[in-house]
Chains A and B, each alone.
Chain A
């Protein structure tokens, strides 16, 4: 009986987590012009409106560019640091590890304030550069945690074999280590992109006036009232941030299977 109760509880908890999000997706297809219940029919008109909404499309482009640049920079820094931590006997390794994940130990609001005020003092005010710097420092710890976890599982023997057969360390890195690390690189980059794409807490502090990312655009649209357009935008974001990783995982699995045979 106890087990049955736990099962029902778990179903309720999952319902709590997903029902509101499911309602967002459902309402984005609502034909009713107020975007509320009762649903009067299915329609794609709100997605069409989004497509024609300049502010929304601009926010999308900003978020995409910002997310991609964050992913590239953060992943590069993260991989180099993870390599050092996993492959070498670094003195003060624990201190360095703690330091590298410190950006997620500090509340994001505090990080946002400190970065804004310091860079502003240096002459870099609210700008795309500040936004990028903020997203990089905030995503870096996640990339390092993900990449390090994957890196541990790559055996050193393969690299040593390449080295003993006469490859230089740089050749070994590009011919052996990097291909083996590719899943870790992809996971780290995807993680950084998604976190950057979804971020609002820091972004509201760092963004210059007039520039919006998708989350801050939703935030400012919410000031008026909830509209079907917001639900449609939410649906697009869910498809992007949930669909892309799933697609990525599927492709990675397919590639791995091909490689195996």
Chain B
């Protein structure tokens, strides 16, 4: 074999194990559930192979599924907006601070290393009937009986914001860090107030980071089922909970396939719109 041919083959040898893993553990399984979603699960529990539209019809026209899908998108949207409002000023502070930037960044990375389930359940210690807040309010004499503050939609959103905020801060920080500070100084010297310089120079330039953080928050928020189980009440199920129910509890795998594909399509459209205007490379910046 010639040297050139060997040189050309080498990268493929290096890539093949990883590509094979992605192919056999992601791409083909995804195609498989597309096929599976047209099968039927009969009452006795065996799958009927064929081309039936029943699962899709149920997923798309059943009011129950539609309401929960819309509610899931609403919760993800509120979570994203709250993350943006809370995270942007903090990211701005980190980007512009001089002395303690390193320690602030290190602290910001810390939540990524702390288990999601621990961060989620930590709110039970704060808001539960015997939690920190109730104890405080009772010892101050403001209330006599502990109030149940947990297990509603607000605590689900709270848990999601707590989980996703670091993604937002990090992405906004990365884009703010890339902006030349001289631009703001130039705007100031041309007569703009600090606020004007911010809204007309810095904010527009940092929008890609805000959008990247927002996309991550939305997609990760809309795909969760653990937070509603731990911090939500019986009526706060999100769409991924329906998938979990169908697959694990009801063992209706064809229906579960259709439901998870529906979630993938809805979120995929969002990612595609984002990719069309901003490109996925912005996301990689925040992750790296």
Contacts from A to B (Cβ < 8 Å): 2, 6-7, 9-10, 13-14, 16-21, 23-24, 27, 34, 36-38, 76-78, 80-81, 83-85, 87-88, 90, 96, 98-103, 105-111, 113-119, 121, 133-134, 136-137, 140, 142, 144-146, 149, 194, 197-198, 200-201, 204-205, 214-215, 218-219, 222, 226, 230-231, 234, 237-238, 241-242, 245
Q: In the assembled complex, how far is the CB of residue A231 from the closest CB belonging to chain B, in whole angstroms?
A: 7
Q: B90 to A204, Cβ gap below 8 A?
A: no
Q: Is the CB of B107 within 8 A of A201?
A: no
- Closest partner residue, chain B, to A39 (CB atom): B135
A100 to B12, CA, bound (A): 14
Q: What residues on B are CB-neighbors of A237 within 8 Å?
A: 114-115, 118
Can you list 20 A-B contacts (CB < 8 A)? A6-B92, A10-B89, A13-B87, A13-B165, A24-B118, A24-B121, A37-B130, A85-B11, A106-B30, A106-B264, A113-B33, A114-B33, A114-B260, A121-B32, A137-B26, A145-B284, A205-B244, A226-B125, A242-B113, A242-B114
Contact status A10-B194, CB under 8 Å: no
**Interface size class for chain B?**
35 or more
Tell me, rounded to whole Å, the shortest Cβ–Cβ distance linking A40 to chain B: 12
Q: Choose, from B182-190, B201-209, B223-231, the stretch at the interface.
A: B223-231
C-alpha gap A88/B11 in the complex (Å): 6
Which B positions have Cβ atoms within 8 angstroms of A?
10-12, 14-15, 17-19, 21-22, 25-30, 32-33, 36, 86-87, 89-90, 92-94, 104, 107, 110-111, 113-119, 121-126, 128, 130-132, 135, 139, 162, 165-166, 169, 194-195, 219-220, 222-226, 230, 240, 243-244, 247-248, 253, 256-257, 260-261, 263-264, 267, 271, 280, 284, 287-288
Closest to A101 in B: B284
Most chain-A CB neighbours within 10 Å: which of B18, B243, B264? B18
Q: Are B264 and A118 in contact (CB under 8 A)?
A: no
Q: How far is the CB of A143 from chain B (nearest CB, A)?
A: 9
Q: Specify which chain A residues have a CB less than 8 angstroms from the CB of B104 in the assembled complex.
A: 10, 14
A residues within 8 A CB of B220? Answer: 107
Name the residue in A23, A106, A142, A230 with the highest tally of chain B Cβ atoms < 10 Å from its Cβ: A106
- Tell me, rounded to whole Å, the shortest Cβ–Cβ distance linking A193 to chain B: 11
Task: Name 9 extra pairs, CB < 8 A, besides A24-B122, A24-B125.
Answer: A10-B93, A14-B107, A84-B14, A96-B15, A99-B22, A118-B33, A205-B244, A219-B226, A219-B230
Q: Is the CB of B288 within 8 A of A77?
A: no
| Contact residues in B for A13 (Cβ distance below 8 Å) | 86-87, 89-90, 165, 169
Q: Is the CB of A109 within 8 A of B263?
A: yes
